[in-house]
Amino acid sequence: MKKIPTLLLTSVMLLGLPAAVLGQDDHAGHNHAKPAANAAAQPPAEPAPERGPMVWSEPDFAAIAEMMIGSWQTTAPVAQADDPTQTAKVVMSIAPANLTELPDTLYIETARSDSIETPYRAAFLQLYRRQGELRMRTLEIRAPGASINDLLIGLWAAPEFIPDIPREAMIATLDLAFTKVGDAWVGQTPYPYPTAVGGAVEMTSQMKIEEDTIETADRGYAADGSVVWGSSAGDHYTFERIDSPYTVDRRENGLVVITLRDNTDSDPFSEGDRVAFQYSGWLTTGRMFDTSRRQNGKPLSYTAPGNLIPGWMMATEGMSNGDWRKFIVPSEIGYGDKSAARGAIPPNSTLVFEAECVSVQPGFTQPNLITKPAGGGGDGHEGHDH
């Protein structure tokens, strides 16, 4: 039985990311209902610079990207690497990533079909030429635990909000050299790459891209040349194009809501219910300004509809216990032209939130007090009121 490929990571020392990319702990002193309540008490964060439209620099790059963009699923279940008795189909979703320092780049997420919202791999694929040869380079965030990774989840469904991550924040893992064979593009690693994953000492990768299928074959080899993980020689994983596993709601006021998980077994919360959310918030630069998830922090809890910024209230409307959404809030329905979070949120900022509904208590009749999430090291969210 095939196993889900292990993450392809080279054995390198992980270097620090720039502060704006790592998403420093800027979640103290928020007051989300009163944007002007916390005037800048620290150097304000810089707003995200404007980027031009995504343009592919070569027709071949555009052709490959057009064939790959979308969502794909394996034609057969794949055994899990940690438990071969458990199987699941694998879904990968691919979108353009408009990165200033990495032109001609795609963003890819790979997940089990039964847990799309928690991908086990996220990477970038850059198309470039080396001495005339067309190559695809895989890159990953240098710091696996950086908050930018959580921000990226699901943004393939609204790729214009993928932050402009600098080249120094990435680590290259391998290259595939591509040639065109008929209507397909066929790529393989130009040589085995060293690895320490899963008992292998080196690995290879292959890919074949067609209009409606993508075939991949990743293999790890022991010192004696035997295959220790991945597909066997001559075998591969086949992905077929599928409809997007996420729904995206783009509204006239600029709000964008991506449904990561929809629990159809529970009723949506309504006015008067006590509702609780685990959540995180970022600027579009990738800088995290707030989270309830640090050190098992308490969720944001309030009696609906709450006293919150309009964008939050609009985006969470209709959620039930277990639902999980990511949403992009333009400044007009966020904090407007005021700074917030002691300067961590500049005026006129577009915000990105992920919010997971973790509790709904029907008919809560207590006063509408907001229980503030506890961040790292005590109540780091003093003054919050989304």
253: in domain: no
**pLDDT digit string (tens) for 57-106?**
999 999 999 999 999 999 999 877 667 778 999 999 999 999 999 999 99
272 located within any domain: no
pLDDT, one tens digit per residue, over 132-190 is 999 999 999 988 778 899 999 999 999 999 999 999 999 999 999 999 999 999 999 99
Is residue 125 a part of any domain in this protein? yes
pLDDT, averaged across the chain? 84
Identify the residue with better confidence: 10 or 250: 250
The share of the chain scoring above pLDDT 70, in percent, equals 79
pLDDT at 294 over 50: yes
Residue 91, domain member (yes or no): yes
Q: What is the pLDDT of residue 236?
A: 87
Q: Helix, strand, or coil here: 98?
A: strand
Task: Assess if residue 216 is contained within a domain.
Answer: yes
Residue 84 maps to a domain:
yes
Dihedral Cα 8, 12, 14, 15, nearest 10 deg: -130
* 377 occurs within a structural domain: no
State how many domains the chain has: 1
> What CATH number has the domain bearing residue 65?
2.40.128.590
Q: How far apart, in whole angstroms, are the C-alpha atoms of residue 50 and residue 129?
A: 27
Residue 80 lies in a domain: yes
DSSP string, 103-120: EEEEEEEEEETT-TTS-S
Which residue range forms the structural domain that includes residue 110?
49-242
